[in-house]
Structure 1
Amino acid sequence: MKVIALILAALAGTATAADCGPDKLNTSRTITLKREGAAYGANQNAVLPLAKGEVVLTFDDGPSFENTPAVLKALSDQCAKATFFMVGQNIAQQPELARRVVREGHSAGIHSDTHAHLASFTVEQQLEDLKRSRAAYKAAFGVETPAYRFPFLEETPALLDALKQANITVASIDLGITDWLPDDTTAILAQRLSENLDKAGSGIILMHDANGPTAKALPTLLQVLKDKGYKVVHLEWQ
Structure 2
Amino acid sequence: MHRATKCLATLSFTLSLGAGAAQAGAADPANGECGPLALGTSRIMAMPREAAAYGRAQHPALGLQRGEVVLTFDDGPRPESTPLVLKALARHCARATFFMNGEPLLRAPDLARELVAQGHTAAMHGFVHHHFPQLSPERQLDDLRQMQQAYRQVFGTEPAAYRFPFLEETPPLREALAAARITVFSVDVGVEDWLPDQTPAMLTERLIKRLQETGGGIILLHDAQDQTAAALPSMLQALQHHGFKLVHLEWR
Q: Same fold (TM over 0.5)?
A: yes
Which region of structure 1 is more displaced relative to structure 2, 53-62 or 29-38? 29-38
State the identity %.
53
- The correspondence of residues 28-177 of structure 1 with structure 2, limited to 5 A, is 28-177=42-191
**How far did 1:17 drift?**
6.9
**How far did 1:194 drift?**
1.4
Residues 17/218 of structure 1: CA separation in 2 closer, same or farther (3 Å cut): closer
Q: Which amino acid aligns with 1:132?
A: Q
**Distance in 2 separating the partners of 1:38 and 1:18:** 32
TM-score (normalizing by structure 1): 0.92
SS of match in other structure, 2:126: coil
Q: Is the 8 A contact 2:31 2:42 kept in 1?
A: no
Q: Which amino acid aligns with 1:124?
A: E
Q: Is the 8 A contact 2:40 2:246 kept in 1?
A: yes
Q: Which amino acid aligns with 1:34?
A: P
Report the structure, 1 or 2, having the larger helix content: 1
**How far did 1:225 drift?**
0.4
CA root-mean-square deviation: 1.3
Q: Deviations over 1:37-89 (max 9, x none)?
A: 11011111111110000000000000000000000000000000000000001
Gap runs ≥5 in structure 2: 1-28
**Distance in 1 separating the partners of 2:59 and 2:31:** 36
Residues 1:213 and 2:252 aligned together: no
Aligned length: 224
- In the other structure, the counterpart of 2:238 is 224
**Distance in 1 separating the partners of 2:168 and 2:224:** 19
**Distance in 2 separating the partners of 1:19 and 1:169:** 31
Residues 1:194 and 2:208 aligned together: yes
Q: Which runs of 4+ in 1 moved over 6 A?
A: none
Gap runs ≥5 in structure 1: 1-13
TM-score (normalizing by structure 2): 0.87
**Distance in 1 separating the partners of 2:100 and 2:91:** 22
Q: Which amino acid aligns with 1:71?
A: V
**How far did 1:178 drift?**
0.6
**Distance in 1 separating the partners of 2:233 and 2:136:** 41
SS of match in other structure, 1:58: strand
